[in-house]
Amino acid sequence: MRTFYPAIEPYDSGLLDVGDGQQLYWEVSGNPDGKPVVFLHGGPGGGTNPNQRRVFDPATYRIVLFDQRGCGKSLPHASENGDLSANTTWHSVADIERLREMLGVDVWQVFGGSWGSTLALAYAETHPERVTELVLRGIFTLRKTELDWFYEGGAGAMLPDNWEGFVAPVPEDERHSLIAAYHRLLNDPDPAVHGPAAVAWSTWEASAITLLPREDLIATFSEPSYALAFARIENHYFVNKGWMEDGQLIRDASRLRDIPAVIVQGRYDLCTPPFTAWDLHRAWPEAEMRMIPDAGHAFDEPGILDALIEATDRFADR
């Protein structure tokens, strides 16, 4: 089983002004002359963390991480500024291009999991000429069926105790549409309303990410400032259906046919269940499909991590 490369620190970092009053934190680590790769984090709103540098051989790759609008070290943080009007899928696609140009990168590998896979697909379908390879994990495309599964009751049947905590902040007469109800709660100006709602939203996701519960992960997600930015941004995207037509990313997968790709999916992923990865693979049979038999959603579960590093190692010399 492959596992993380040793921990490394960035050799360069900064804030990129992308307009709309937004500044994105970015960092570069690994080999300054290596193969460029950009890591697209999940959420939306999840931010980056040091372990994300470690799925790439630092001797081979020039590793680029950045925090998307409103989260991580980017400014302003969504826990303090509730105006998300300039935070959409297509703003993020444009941000990736601005970052590529600022770093002087011609083409690069794109790596994304969960929401990061959504953004990777949207970026690659818009700019296929800029993508050398795609490494995708826990496929999510914001279709109504996917959102209904996780936020309107499907996954709740699998985790009824955790689901009870998720629906608790929502008045009973609003539970017919939980995403819409949470939109109201998370944007209520009263901290006594939006604070507990944010923690409940984020805790629900953390409880379903791994095949076996991880209390450390749940604690990270339930930290109030993190939870508020994470929940507000996710809910904002989901209420607006990602500013895409339903099924758009799978419909347009033919644009990716010339890009080598690996799709890594946990068999027991409750957050982004395997039917989406399978639908993408059927629309894009050229992509290699890896179904991990003993894994959920998290990128650092052993079987998923092994498959991801196998893919980045294999693509390192292309």
**What residues are labeled active site?**
114, 269, 297
Q: Are 239 and 183 in contact (CB under 8 A)?
A: yes
The structure tokens listed for 288 are: 């290699």
Q: Are 223 and 47 in contact (CB under 8 A)?
A: no
For the chain, what is the HEC assignment? CCCCCCCCCCCEEEEEEEECCEEEEEEEEECCCCEEEEEECCCCCCCCCHHHHHHCCCCCEEEEEECCCCCCCCECCCCCCCCCCCCCHHHHHHHHHHHHHHHCCCCEEEEEECHHHHHHHHHHHHCHHHEEEEEEECCCCCCHHHHHHHHCCCHHHCCHHHHHHHHCCCCHHHCCCHHHHHHHHHCCCCHHHHHHHHHHHHHHHHHHHCCCCCHHHHHHHCCHHHHHHHHHHHHHHHHCHHHCCCCHHHHCHHHHCCCCEEEEEECCCCCCCHHHHHHHHHHCCCCEEEEECCCCCCCCCHHHHHHHHHHHHHHCCC
